[in-house]
Amino acid sequence: MDAGAPQGFKGGRLVPAAMQFRVLERSKDSIRIEVEAPEDTLIYPLVNQLLKDTDVEDAKYSVGHPQLDKPVLYIKTKKGKPQTALKNAAQGLSDEFGSVRAAAKKELRLS
């Protein structure tokens, strides 16, 4: 957990701040987004999901120097808006994780 990230308590547990995004550059076919309080376990699958999209030319996540730089997500599309590609990738991950959760719930008889 990043020592500089704002935190809080929830249910008696220390919880890291939610990720926040800030657009650094935007063009017709690319976008650079700074990620505040990144959660790498979510960002890396998101980049992989973006790279599966045939309309995405490139997707990169650069962390830079951990004490000097904030991580940046870069998306370049062949066709369509990069914001749409990001939205579709996030929805795809949500669907994928939702189906895993449903299967685990059914098999393990969780409520």
What the chain holds in terms of domains, given with CATH numbers, is: 7-108 (3.30.1360.10)
Alpha-carbon distance of 1 to 18, in angstroms, equals 12
- Which phi-psi region, left, alpha or beta, contains residue 5 (left: φ > 0; alpha: ψ -120 to 50)? beta
Tens of each residue's pLDDT in the chain, 111 residues: 444 445 556 666 655 567 889 999 999 999 999 998 888 888 999 999 999 999 999 999 999 888 899 999 999 999 999 999 999 999 998 888 888 778 888 888 765
pTM, 2 dp: 0.76
Q: How far apart are CA 59 and CA 30, in angstroms?
A: 10
